[in-house]
Amino acid sequence: MAIAKTGNALTTSLQQPGNVVSNDGYGLLTSTVNYTGNDGGTPILKGSDHPEFSFMKAWKIAREYRSLEFVGYKVDYVGICSEADGEAEDPGLWTEATNTIANISGAASLASEGITSHPNFFDGTVPEGLDPEDFMIAGHGTGTGSAPVYPASTLVTTPVQEYVGMKGAHFKKVGTTYQFTGFKDPNSLYRGYYGKSNYLAATTGLSGIIYTSSDAVVQKFIENVGHSSLENGWTGGPLLVPNFMGEYWEGANGAQLLLSGVNFEQYGHIYKCSYQIRINMEGWPRAVYPQFTA
């Protein structure tokens, strides 16, 4: 008796129930869809469109050979979306975007820095009627913060005469300038400074993750490592620091944001960019840390 074969030959794979699309809250869409097809039919390939959102593309495919004729597909899709303005389209409708919103985490801590880099080492703002000793570290003697003039030390006179500022800070004279040599006065008044050469400076670091479908964004990340920025992103690119933290970052010495590192991974047509930013409230000197290229 002959076998009767009727119905869909499944030359084009048939989607199975249970299509779920997830938004991570920052604009990254992921979905896993199951299909059943004929082993001799048209295969599902990497880069094919999602059945609901065509801008989501297949990036990982598993095939299960269920019989001599039929094959099951488990297809993972990924895409980037923005939620359309409710006034323009139905609320919650997802539309294609190039970049996700940055997922930011941060930490504030202390790090060891040379004492001469302290902003109050040579100078400081002294309120009227208060003791300069409480607002400056070494001070500037009878000069100014940019051109200090110190009296000769009575503690260190050989082999080279040294000069003394506040709190026992000693300097040797090099031409018309002074080079810090250390805190050398063991007087109990200065015990907290004696022998010290570093201090703990506040430092803030940010870590962020952005997904992008743009090769140019990945290349821009790589180009700008070691560059500082006055703004929280670059022209035409994603925001690396959310607006609620500040949109313009300028300190006394330059831009306050420094892109200190980036890692990237590829998921089909999408790239995951993980990056680190260091914040220096005094600013990163432009001659050392060039600013972002547009």
Asked if residue 274 lies in contact with residue 266, where contact means CB atoms within 8 angstroms, the answer is: no
pLDDT less than 70: residues of the chain? 1-10, 84-92, 293-294
Classify 50 as helix, strand or coil.
coil
Buried/exposed 48-86: b ≥16 CB within 10 Å, e otherwise:
bebeebebbbbbeeeeeeeeeeebebebbbbbbbeeeee
Beta bridge partners of 94: 83
pLDDT in tens, 19-65: 899 999 899 999 999 999 888 778 899 999 999 999 999 999 999 98
pLDDT in tens, 39-51: 877 889 999 999 9
Find tokens 């902003």 and name the residue: 119
pLDDT of the residue at 40: 78
Q: What does DSSP assign to residue 137?
A: S
- Nearest 5°: the CA angle 161, 162, 166 is 150
pLDDT of the residue at 276: 96
Find tokens 């790589």 and name the residue: 222
Beta bridge partners of 172: 162, 179
pLDDT of the residue at 84: 58
- Nearest 5°: the CA angle 135, 140, 146 is 105
Q: Which of 47, 102, 135, 93 is nearest to 212 (CA)?
A: 102
Classify 166 as helix, strand or coil.
helix
Asked if residue 198 lies in contact with residue 112, where contact means CB atoms within 8 angstroms, the answer is: yes
pLDDT of the residue at 289: 95
pLDDT of the residue at 23: 92
pLDDT of the residue at 72: 92
Tell me the C-alpha distance between 240 and 233, whole Å.
Answer: 5
Q: What share of the chain is helix, strand, coil (3-state, %, to 5)?
A: 10, 45, 45
